Amino acid sequence: MKMRAMRRLGVWALAVMAIVAMVEAQGYWETVVENAGIATMHSAVTHYGNVVLLDRTNVGPSQLALGAGVCRDNPQDRSLKHDCTAHSALFTPGSNDVRPLFVYTDTWCSSGQFDANGQLVQTGGDADGLSKIRHFAPCGGGGCDWVELDGGLQMGRWYASNQILPDGTQIVVGGRGVNTVEYVPANGRGTYNLPLLAKTNDAQQDNLYPFVHLLPNNQIFIFANRDSCLYDWETNKVVRDYPTIPGEPRNYPSAGSSVLLPLSANADFNNVEVVVCGGAAYGAYMNPAGQPASQTCGRIAPLAAGAGWAMETMPQRRLMGDMILLPTREVLIINGAGGGAQGWGNAVNPVKNPVLYKPYNAAGARFQTLTASPIARVYHSTANLLPDGRVMVAGSNTHQFYTFAGGLPTELRIEAFSPPYLGANRPAFAAAPGGLKYGAGFTATVKAAAAKNIELNLVSAPFVTHSYAQGQRLLQLAAGAPVAAGGGAYTVASKAPPSAAVAPAGYYMLFPVADGNVGYAAWVKVG
């Protein structure tokens, strides 16, 4: 009897081990903060490893107090003119502390990007924030906070997109009712008409938060609604137009997402492809009735002669999904809904399973469905890659104000998703460069268990909002064969990116990846 029970226990243990292995192969979730106090509409990871969280200011009181004796008195606020609660915060992964930050003007549906010194430049918003420029110079302690500049944008911008450029300035593209681009800092430049924005401005304004990608030829790929162009930011001229992508509108409020696929030193950083995934049925925003979302992705090589869209089918329909470049050079598609559109109460059928997109597999074999989150993340949610390799997921507020009852309530919890590459045998830097000069060689030392192949992959820290990570890029650097250095360590000879067109100056996460296992990143300054 005892032997039979032991056999049953052994079978059960094997079954549990099989389930655990399966879950680990699909990733796993953990809630790291039960109540961050604010709903995270915008987020960005600083080079100190902490994360700036932002919501709108005219939402009424949040659940995070500013601190003793600190209040925001703003006669232009539409909801609460005397407000002692925070609408921005600094989250520290690991300790999971949340520190309130003070932001004065409304950051609702604004844009941003880090500059070459790691300072977050934040632009536009609604109402009193429409033309504002804000700076956040990150720190490791408690002394840093938002600074609102006296000078502002040349045109008010709500739902615009930013991209840092090789000269260190940022181009700010579009916005509601705005068909121009401008630069921050302007450095004497004005605003410039972009015909693509007028062309794509349909009845529900599906050209908001355009997808903007800096290409290694020093020009910009801009996508809005279903159309796209190549733009020369130095001459402010359109170089070429591209075919219309098949299917549904892809930008806000129809809310697909987009990434520039990783650039590789193995191809001299000339392997240029853009992917756009998801979106909503046309009219779903104007007439919310839960219409099914798009189930397609389009992929284009914008610098190729005769460039056109190659279409693929996702495992689920999805809009409001975030596309995050992972250190393994794969793409995580996370968050979103299966129907409706962005806007108050327009989302239906939350999609809780992330999907892994493997761009180097053959067409038809590129998608892998991962473990579902227990939490719905739809309108006004975010996802950011952390230096430890996890993905921070926050936000979701489908209501005009904070609403904690009924379907799809305002979400204040912060989760961390661990992708399948975070196994037991994680590599680690024994020595990493602190900075990289363009074109210069360097050596890194990586501790890894019997590594056959070690990659050094450089990942930017984007500004994430409304299903688009502004300024996101990944570079697979040159990496020689690992040379044993004793003690389980290997030296790897590598080389910095060749130019600011390939990697604009600033702080990046440098990840060691040994035989597919991802280690902790080292922050390096490129420039």
Report the CATH number that the domain containing residue 473 is assigned in CATH. 2.60.40.10
442 and 369, same domain (yes or no): no
Q: Could you tell me if residue 18 is inside a domain?
A: no
Cα–Cα distance, 43 to 210 (Å, whole number): 18
470 and 397, same domain (yes or no): no
Total domains present in the chain? 2
126 and 275, same domain (yes or no): yes
Closest CA to 135 of 167, 170, 160, 166: 170
433 and 404, same domain (yes or no): no
243 and 181, same domain (yes or no): yes
356 and 480, same domain (yes or no): no
Q: Please, what is the end-to-end C-alpha distance for the chain in angstroms?
A: 71
Q: What pLDDT is stored for residue 288 in this prediction?
A: 82
pLDDT at residue 309 tops 90: yes
447 and 515, same domain (yes or no): yes
- Sheet of strand 355-357, all strands in order from the earlier edge strand to the far edge: 322-325, 331-334, 355-357, 367-369
Cα–Cα distance, 363 to 354 (Å, whole number): 19
188 and 159, same domain (yes or no): yes
Please say whether the dihedral angle defined by the alpha carbons of residues 82, 84, 89 and 90, taken in this order, is positive or negative. positive
pLDDT, mean of residues 377-389: 98
Q: What is the DSSP string of 96-147?
A: TEEEEE---S--TT-EEEE-TTSPEEEE--SGGGTT-EEEE---SSS---EE
Contacts of 22 (CB under 8 A, 6+ apart): none
Q: Could you tell me if residue 189 is inside a domain?
A: yes
Cis bond before residue 166 (omega within 30° of 0): no
Question: Quick check: helix, strand or coil at residue 12?
Answer: helix
Q: Could you tell me if residue 130 is inside a domain?
A: yes
pLDDT at residue 388 tops 80: yes
Q: What is the identity of the amino acid at 8?
A: R
pLDDT at residue 355 tops 60: yes
Spatial contact of 259 and 274, defined as CB atoms under 8 Å apart: yes
**Beta-bridge mates of residue 101:** 88
Cα 380 to Cα 34, 85, 275: the distances in Å are: 18, 20, 22
Q: Could you tell me if residue 6 is inside a domain?
A: no
Closest CA to 260 of 319, 321, 323: 323
Q: What pLDDT is stored for residue 146 in this prediction?
A: 98
74 and 223, same domain (yes or no): yes
Confidence of residue 11 (pLDDT cuts 50, 70, 90): very low
33 C-beta neighbours (distance < 10 Å), count: 18
390 and 493, same domain (yes or no): no
Report the CATH number that the domain containing residue 188 is assigned in CATH. 2.130.10.80
pLDDT tens string 412-471: 999 999 999 998 889 999 999 999 999 999 999 999 988 889 999 999 999 999 999 999
Spatial contact of 159 and 173, defined as CB atoms under 8 Å apart: no
Q: What are phi and psi of 395, to 5 degrees?
A: 80, -175
Q: Could you tell me if residue 1 is inside a domain?
A: no
Question: What residue numbers bound the domain in which 109 lies?
Answer: 27-418
Domain boundary among 364, 386, 418: 418
371 and 476, same domain (yes or no): no
Closest CA to 340 of 363, 320, 313: 320
Helix (H) or strand (E) holding 22: helix 2-25
Q: Could you tell me if residue 11 is inside a domain?
A: no
Contacts of 105 (CB under 8 A, 6+ apart): 57, 74, 125, 127, 128, 129, 132, 134, 148
Q: Could you tell me if residue 96 is inside a domain?
A: yes
Q: What are phi and psi of 162, to 5 degrees?
A: -115, 150
Domain boundary among 386, 418, 450: 418
Residue found under tokens 């990944």: 474
Q: Could you tell me if residue 20 is inside a domain?
A: no
Q: What is the identity of the amino acid at 402?
A: Y
pLDDT at residue 8 tops 90: no
Q: Is 157 left (phi over 0), alpha (psi -120 to 50) or beta?
A: beta
Closest CA to 417 of 22, 95, 27, 26: 27
Domain boundary among 391, 418, 445: 418
pLDDT, mean of residues 331-356: 96
Q: What are phi and psi of 43, to 5 degrees?
A: -155, 150
Q: What pLDDT is stored for residue 311 in this prediction?
A: 98
393 and 434, same domain (yes or no): no
pLDDT averaged over every residue in the chain: 94
